[in-house]
Chain A
């Protein structure tokens, strides 16, 4: 995979080892996310998929390894990266509205003390509209369904106007309509030249949704274009020979 075209990849993780205090969750994992494509991180439960994503964002401090975004340290590229955490990672009983959550995507424009102006609201509303949630802008977030919550998170990422989108299990526990809406938006981003990376668990949708895969089980088993990498042989190696549902 040492293609020269990939040297300036939006995201490159090399030889990453991460531990939460006990045995390492990841040992020497590699990930190269090619520009303008949809990439999936796939692997069994406990394979370290979310950990890889969080490390790539600097949310988890690795024991060793290097992470670069467009050949630069992560900190220098934060403005170009949007993150959609797992829906279950936040308390949806928090006293705020759908619009307020979307506005959080504009944080780096607003900073500490700048007032939220009408054009900020318009932008947040437009992002909510792209995921079909603008009608519920004033709704308290606790009243949303799981799929609606996921769409609000996606709208917040859209408001960041990033070039690289990192999503942690965006299709987990959402309804079919939401899944279709999300994939439409993500494919739209890709078609506009943006780069998308998802932690994904549904093997059956991988060939339809993703151009590129990274098969992970504590280390990188294989990565490359879906057509050549998402093979039964590689999946058997990734899932320790216990394939849940064959692709």
Chain B
């Protein structure tokens, strides 16, 4: 039991919180047909995070957010420049910018010495979920011991806080956000600040992506923006229920994915476990496949 608390519980919780934080804005991105914004954000922010690390030497939340924001801003400017002067369609301009920025981030990572922290190419893709252990969890009664609890991985607090902030923002702005998502023109005619709402949604998504990034990597981030909301949409025709389903699917993917990654290969006779991030993303994809085949509200 103490082994579970020390080695498995923290990463499972962090994975679950990260998946849920991404799924919340992901629902609205899905309904706005902007799901790939999640993909774009997770690619674009990498060079920003790396540069922020190089400048400050730490993986603290604030410099990372600022670096990510700067990178996102640079991406917007680049897309507009390429679209204007390259005379290409917006989709192509975006595709070029996102992949180039991600590649630049990878190159930066390879050229710099980040060995002392969990920031390298592999972690950019897969995160370092398995290493977010809690050694004081071995202490008997650790879950109720304030001293032991203080040594929980900081990623756990950061992720929980991010999820809380996003959930609160969605709760407060639920009505205008839902209205503008369904009928932007009508929302505008009411005088609602639709551009700000849309920007706020992207900021929520970026917060989730950046907070989740160093723990779970960009693969999960992309999958979690899209898969749980898309699966949830096939389960219900009610927006609130859709959000609830998406959170459930996010949590299920994270826990089941983590367990399967750790123990699945052993059950099959292999010796090493596989990447938790990869398995979590795989499980979320399988859930989407399942709901696409058997969900009660598939489109005819």
Contact = CB atoms under 8 A, between A and B. Distances in A.
B181 interface: yes
B4 interface: no
B191 A75 contact: yes
Contact of A78 (B173, B185, B189, B237): B189
Contact of A90 (B183, B239, B241): B183
B185 A104 contact: no
B87 interface: no
B89 interface: no
A107 B242 contact: no
Size category of the binding interface on chain A: 20 to 34
Nearest to A104: B179
Interface string B2-36: 00000000000000000000000000000101000
Interface of B: 31, 33, 172-173, 175-176, 178-179, 181-183, 185-186, 188-192, 233, 236-239, 241-242, 299
A156 B183 CA distance: 12
A94 B173 contact: no
Nearest to A166: B189
Contact of A107 (B31, B172, B190, B237): B190
Contacts of B192: 107
Given A94-B31, A95-B238, A96-B182, A113 B188 contact: no
Given A75-B191, A112-B175, A94 B186 contact: no
Contacts of A107: 175-176, 179, 190, 192
Contact of A96 (B188, B189, B239): B239
Contacts of A90: 182-183
Given A112-B176, A140-B237, A93 B299 contact: yes
A1 interface: no
Interface string A127-144: 000000000000010100
Contacts of B242: 95
Output the residue of A57, A83, A90, A95 with the most chain B CB within 10 A.
Answer: A95
A156 B33 CA distance: 24
A236 B196 CA distance: 45
A54 interface: yes
B190 A54 contact: no
Contact of B239 (A75, A82, A95): A95
A208 interface: no
Output the residue of A81, A83, A108, A156 with the most chain B CB within 10 A.
Answer: A83
A59 B238 CA distance: 28
A175 to B, nearest CB: 21
23 contacts: A58-B188, A59-B185, A59-B188, A78-B189, A81-B189, A82-B189, A83-B185, A85-B186, A91-B31, A94-B181, A94-B182, A94-B239, A95-B237, A95-B242, A97-B238, A104-B179, A104-B186, A107-B176, A108-B190, A112-B173, A113-B172, A113-B175, A156-B186
Contacts of B173: 112
B228 to A, nearest CB: 15
Contacts of B239: 94-96
Contacts of B188: 57-59
Contacts of B179: 104, 107
A156 to B, nearest CB: 8
A95 B236 contact: yes
Given A91-B31, A94-B31, A112-B175, A83 B186 contact: yes
A6 B123 CA distance: 68
Contacts of B233: 95
A191 B227 CA distance: 52
A89 interface: yes
A158 B254 CA distance: 46
A85 B175 contact: no
A110 interface: yes
Nearest to A94: B182
Contacts of A96: 178, 182, 237-239
A57 B241 CA distance: 33
A111 B173 CA distance: 10
Please name the 10 residue pairs, one residue from A and one from B, whose CB atoms are nearest each other, closest first.
Answer: A83-B189, A140-B237, A85-B185, A78-B191, A94-B182, A90-B183, A95-B239, A57-B189, A59-B188, A95-B237
A81 B186 CA distance: 11
Interface in A34-69: 54, 57-59
Interface in A66-89: 75, 78, 81-83, 85, 89
Nearest to B172: A112
